[in-house]
Amino acid sequence: MHRPLAISDILARGPLGRLGNAVVLLGEVDSTNSYLRRSADDLPDGTIVAAEYQTAGRGRLGRVWRSPRGSSILLSVLLLEPADSPIHKLATTLAALAACEAIREAAGIDAAVRWPNDVAVRGRKVAGVLAESTSVSPARESVNGEGAARGLIIGVGINCLQQSGHFPAELAPTATSLEIESAAAVDRARVAGALVGRLDRRIAGLAAGGAAGLLDEWRAACDDVGTRVELCCDGAVFRGTIVDIADNADLIVQLEDGGRRHFAAATSSRHW
């Protein structure tokens, strides 16, 4: 479907602050996140990897992420951050917001973030984020030069050109693509450039302004406060109404059977 992404698409916004020190474009790979995990010791901070097709794309909580060849944006970035940097805990929130902004900007679609790692259009999933940390050689310095680095890999998948028949039966009721949601043809290359630009800006914004501003903007881009939610956590199912996102990016839920509970993304799964 359509031409492969080029470096000029990925870096269409001109020089970036942090991302793009290296750009790797692959026709096929197991997973762009796995590629960066394997190669983190040999690649610079800010490396971007994008692929046309993944044979073993991964989602959160061990799920599989599948996309027809050439249909999606499958892109990961590598950051070398101090181990105690707040970005390790906020990477998913940051990247979901960046993906939402990129979709709005480049495709003109009214997307919303959906806790913890998704972007939705009309209540259906159009994009997801998988952020993972990885150890790197102790000889590798973090980006600010303050001691050893911990690798952070942020992977984003955006469904761009799929038609409804492209989704497997179990996802069909809850998944969508930009093409399905848009009245006009979707320019995947433009969305990719916008994604990289927005990620770069959000990473710089977090370093400069801290978590509070990021979380406020995430809240503004989220339309499901007040909606009912069902979550699995510690082997139990919880039902309630979303109240807010906490300052550490936990979801705060008013439970049906009384009381409020915080849910951490790392240990909770949300039903669509």
Residue 125: half-sphere exposure toward Cβ, Cα within 13 Å: 23
Which stretch in 50-58, 209-217, 221-229, 251-259 sits in contact with ligand BTN by CB under 6 A? 50-58
Q: Does 74 bind ligand BTN (CB under 6 A)?
A: yes
DSSP string, 34-91: HHHHHHGGGS-TT-EEEEEEESS-B-GGG-B----TTSEEEEEEEEEEETT-THHHHH
Report the SS3 class of residue 5: coil
**155 is an interface residue for ligand BTN by CB under 6 A:** yes
Nearer to ligand BTN, 82 or 116 (CB): 116
Q: How open is the CA angle 90-93-95, to the nearest 5 degrees?
A: 105
Tally the C-alpha atoms within 13 A of residue 192's C-alpha that lie toward its C-beta.
30
The distance of closest approach from Cβ of residue 33 to ligand BTN in the complex, given in angstroms and rounded to an integer, is 4
Contact segment (CB under 6 A) with ligand BTN among 25-33, 180-188, 238-246, 264-272 equals 25-33
Point out which span in 38-46, 51-59, 195-203, 234-242 binds ligand BTN (CB under 6 A).
Answer: 51-59
Separation between Cα atoms, residue 50 and residue 156, nearest integer Å: 10
Interface of this chain with ligand BTN, residues 86 to 125, rule: CB under 6 A: 117-118
Helix (H, G, I), strand (E, B) or coil at 190: helix
Instruction: Print the binding letters for residues 54-73 with ligand BTN: x by CB under 6 A, - otherwise.
Output: x--xxxx--x-x--------
| Contacting residue, 157, 193, 197, 240, with ligand BTN by CB under 6 A | 157
Cβ-closest position to ligand BTN: 128
Which neighbouring-strand residues pair with 72?
A: 159
The contact set with ligand BTN (CB under 6 A) reads 31-33, 54, 57-60, 63, 65, 74-76, 117-118, 128-130, 155-157
